[in-house]
Amino acid sequence: MPGKMAMVDFNKCNPASCANGVCAAAQACPRKLLVQENPREPPMTNPALCRACGDCVRACPHNAISIMQF
């Protein structure tokens, strides 16, 4: 069954430039699916539970997140 999920482009993601190294996209996800284990690290997504709402896409100042179809 086709679905959609958020993907992080690690070439664009620059957590050091986000406020205090905290991922704005991770904070924006209503389901808390983007997990940033430590400040200044890129977030990891959870494709199984992502609902492709796009909140994380809009929150990222570097356009590092996109919604992919699979």
Q: With CB under 6 A as the rule, give the number of residues binding ligand SF4.
A: 28
54 near ligand SF4, judged by CB under 6 A: yes
Q: Which two tokens stand for residue 40?
A: 């200044």
**CB burial of residue 65 (10 Å; 0-12, 13-18, 19+):** buried
Find the binder of ligand SF4 among 3, 31, 35, 44 (CB under 6 A).
Answer: 31
Distance (Å, whole) CA 67 – CA 63: 11
Rule CB under 6 A: which residues touch ligand SF4? 6, 8, 13-15, 18, 23-25, 28-29, 31, 33-34, 42-43, 45, 50-56, 60, 62, 64-65
